[in-house]
Each structure stands twice: as structure tokens, then as C-alpha cells.
Copies of this chain bind each other. A is one copy, B any other.
Amino acid sequence: MKDFIFHVPTKILFGKDQMKNLAGEIKKYGDRVLLAYGGGSIKRTGLYDEIVKIFEDNNIFYKELSGIEPNPRVESAVRGVEIVRENELNFILAVGGGSVIDLSKLIAGAVFLDCNPWDIVIKKEKITKALPIGTILTLSATGSEMDSGGVITNLETKQKLSFGSKYTLPKFSILNPEITYTVNEKHTAAGVADIMSHTMENYFTLNDGAYMQNRLAEGILKTCIHFGPIALENPTNYDARANLMWASSWAINGLLDTGKETPWSVHAMEHELSAFYDLTHGIGLAILTPRFLSHILNDDTVDMIRDFGINVFNINKTDDKFKDAKAAIGALHMFFEQDMKIPMSLTEVGIDEKHLEEMAENAAKHAGGSIRGVVELNKDDILKIYKACL
């Protein structure tokens, strides 16, 4: 196990009855709030009205940044920074899924820098302080509610890149599983795939001695496999929504990758898909992961993939390691396709061969020449994986 530092001071307020704590938590940090959200769903569900009433009852001044995109665009961060500066706001409340929270993190850091927020994403500028952020999570998926990173899209340059800073970790996050009752089938499934992908990106490593971390990862995967189909079948099953929500936070808050190097692979490939096509992130991850595992299956990785099948999908262990590993990959594919009803090919989501070469080149380039994950993937490897997804 490698040396590491683990420090996740985000306060999680979980459950049906936590909004009563919202004003008190905000007032620890500020009283002039940027209320950031996406489309109109929080207005339809009544959450918006509830928040505004809490603000009014508690003399909390606020300005709104609405319309944050599902793959949040840097232009929205520019708008957000302007609103913060014009109104001297001192706190950001992000109400939404990963996209709203990610964008809020970028705004929180960019406010204190004299640059375009995109300069932070491309590492030209560095966040050195940030406005405090609180979140009210509405979608179980990215884990942004309990980590310090984000992913921002620049449609102009066709880039979707991640950034992070310890200063942008949320101070608190309110997680009410009931809020996710209205998440539709597609986004519920995509969210489960996203949680599982984060977990698997941390899980698939070789010989690093991080045994406990991998047993915990298996626990999170089993939770997704158990409750994903229940949430699709019965969107108002509280325990299903609650377990998926809590799993989303732990898949990526840092615990699973303590003590190991986890250079992610599938996310780097997926970011090109959603940068080019505005594809739902989790769907792209689900399509790519089984093909990625098939591509990297070799003498070095066969035990790792086989153990995954045995420990997570309860596949029967046989004398043929490669057969077992293929059964594991098949089980994952079938779970996404049959149980989570995810379209499991690029063709089905409207992506053809046209940009595959360019996307493979970009994926390699954005990773610094090649994706150096558990198995190194150069441009040709990535292209093969994309083609296997058609």
C-alpha cells in the first residue's frame, strides 16, 4: 500500500428531514448566496420554492444562476462569476446533480482569479482559494457532493476536461433520497453506471496491496447491482434510492483509491464521446467498460477480472481463468443491458464511425500521449475499443 493523505471534511446531512438544517449550515459561512441550478426540474418538484422560502425566512440574500447544462459549459461559469462579483455574494448553493455542483466548484475558485475559468480547467491557472459551497443533491451519480473535482465542457474546442482543488470540496451536502424519486429510467440507469464506473476505475489495479479498499469497492458494486434494478422497477423505493445515493458519494470521495495508484481509463475515453456528441456520461461509460475490459484481458489482468466476476457477480470459478474472466465481462454487459435497460452500443445512441479516429486521437492527447491506466492504451488501442462499441 502506498502512502496517502485522506481528508474529507464535507458534512453529509442525509435523509428525508434535513432541509431544516439548510439555513443554519449556510450561515456558518455566508449570507449572500449564489443559487445555482440546471433546468426547471427543481421548480416542478417544489424544491425551488422550498429553498426560496428558507432564504426569505432567514434573511439570506440570493441571486440565481439557472440553466446549467447537463454537460456543464464553461460559458455558464463565466456568467456565474459575473453574478457573484456584481452582487458580492459569499456562498454558493448548488442544487442539482454533478453538472451543477461541478460548475459551482469552478465558479467558486474562478471568482478569486483574474482569468477565464477555462484557464483553470486547462491548468494555466490554479485555484488558491474558493467561495464556500453547499449542495443539495438531486441525482445519484457523479459523487461531486463529497469530492473536490469537476468536469467542464468547452464545445468550442470540443474538450471535456476535469479539474480539482482541495478548496472546492463542499462544506456540506444535503442528500435526500426522496428528491431522486422523479429521476427517470434513463438517468437512473446512467447514474448507476456512473457510480459503478467510478468504483471500477478505482478497483481495477494490479498488486498494490490495497486489499481492504477493493473489498469495499466490491461492496459498493454489489449495492448498485442489488438496488439499480429495484430503483428502475419502483422509482419510489426509499431504500433503493438511499443506498444508491450514499453509494454515489463513496465511490469517488477518495476512500477507494487510498493507498493505490488509480489512473482512470474509461472516463478519459468517455469524455471524448460526450464532448463530441453531448452523450449522457453514464451511458457512455456503460457502453465502454465491458469493451475496455475485453481489450485489456491478458495474462497480467486475467486474475483481476476473474476475481471481479467471482466477488461481485458470484460467477462460478472454473479451471479456465480466461473463461471466468470473460464470464465476468459478460455479466457486467448483461447487467447494464438487461437489468438497467441501457442501450449498449454507440450505434444505438446515434454515434457512427465518423469521428472515432479524431476522438481516439484526442483521448490519447488529453491524457498526455496515451492513457496510462492499469494497461497503457495508445491511440490505436482506444480506436479499437471505440470500434468494438459500434
Q: Which of A2, A4, A212, A242 has the most CB of B within 10 A?
A: A212
Q: Mark A154-182, 1 if CB is under 8 A from B, else 0.
A: 00000000000000000000000100000
Name the one of B4, B216, B239 contacting A219, with C-beta atoms under 8 angstroms: B216
Instruction: Tell me if B223 and A212 are in contact (CB < 8 A).
Output: yes
A48 sits at the interface (CB 8 A): no
Residues of B within 8 A of A246 (CB): 1, 212, 258-259
The segment out of A7-15, A266-274, A296-304, A336-344 that lies at the interface is A7-15
Residues of B within 8 A of A17 (CB): 3
Q: How far is the CB of A244 from chain B (nearest CB, A)?
A: 9
A211 to B177, CA, bound (A): 15
Q: Which residue of B lies closest to A249 (CB)?
A: B6
> Which A residues from 1 to 42 make CB contacts under 8 A with B?
1-18
> Which A residues from 240 to 294 make CB contacts under 8 A with B?
242-243, 246-247, 250, 255, 258-259
A165 to B154, CA, bound (A): 47
Residues of B within 8 A of A5 (CB): 11-14
Q: How far is the CB of A174 from chain B (nearest CB, A)?
A: 10
Given A212-B246, A220-B215, A239-B211: A7 in contact with B3 (beta carbons within 8 A): no
Q: Which residue of B lies closest to A244 (CB)?
A: B212
Q: Which residue of B lies closest to A21 (CB)?
A: B5
Instruction: Tell me if A7 and B14 are in contact (CB < 8 A).
Output: no
Range of interface residues on A (Cβ < 8 Å): 35 or more
A51 to B120, CA, bound (A): 39
Q: How far is the CB of A234 from chain B (nearest CB, A)?
A: 14
Q: How far is the CB of A48 from chain B (nearest CB, A)?
A: 22
A218 to B209, CA, bound (A): 18
Q: Which residue of B lies closest to A176 (CB)?
A: B3
Given A212-B220, A222-B215, A226-B211: A3 in contact with B12 (beta carbons within 8 A): no
A214 to B137, CA, bound (A): 24
Q: How far is the CB of A242 from chain B (nearest CB, A)?
A: 4
Given A1-B243, A211-B243, A239-B211: A259 in contact with B14 (beta carbons within 8 A): yes
A238 sits at the interface (CB 8 A): yes
> Which A residues from 182 to 226 make CB contacts under 8 A with B?
209, 211-212, 215-216, 218-220, 222-223, 226
Q: Which residue of B lies closest to A242 (CB)?
A: B1
A55 sits at the interface (CB 8 A): no
A313 sits at the interface (CB 8 A): no
Residues of B within 8 A of A322 (CB): none
Residues of B within 8 A of A7 (CB): 9-12
A61 sits at the interface (CB 8 A): no
A12 to B5, CA, bound (A): 6
A335 sits at the interface (CB 8 A): no
Q: How far is the CB of A107 from chain B (nearest CB, A)?
A: 24
A201 to B156, CA, bound (A): 55
- Could you name 21 residue pairs across A and B whose Cβ atoms are closer than 8 Å? A1-B238, A1-B243, A3-B16, A5-B11, A5-B12, A5-B14, A6-B11, A7-B9, A7-B11, A9-B9, A15-B259, A209-B239, A211-B226, A211-B239, A212-B223, A212-B243, A212-B247, A215-B218, A216-B219, A218-B219, A246-B259
Extra contacts, 13 of them, besides A3-B17, A211-B226, A212-B223 (Cβ < 8 A), are A1-B246, A3-B18, A5-B12, A5-B14, A7-B9, A14-B259, A15-B259, A209-B242, A211-B227, A212-B220, A212-B250, A215-B222, A250-B255
Nearest first, the 4 A-B pairs at minimum CB distance are A3-B15, A215-B219, A9-B9, A209-B239
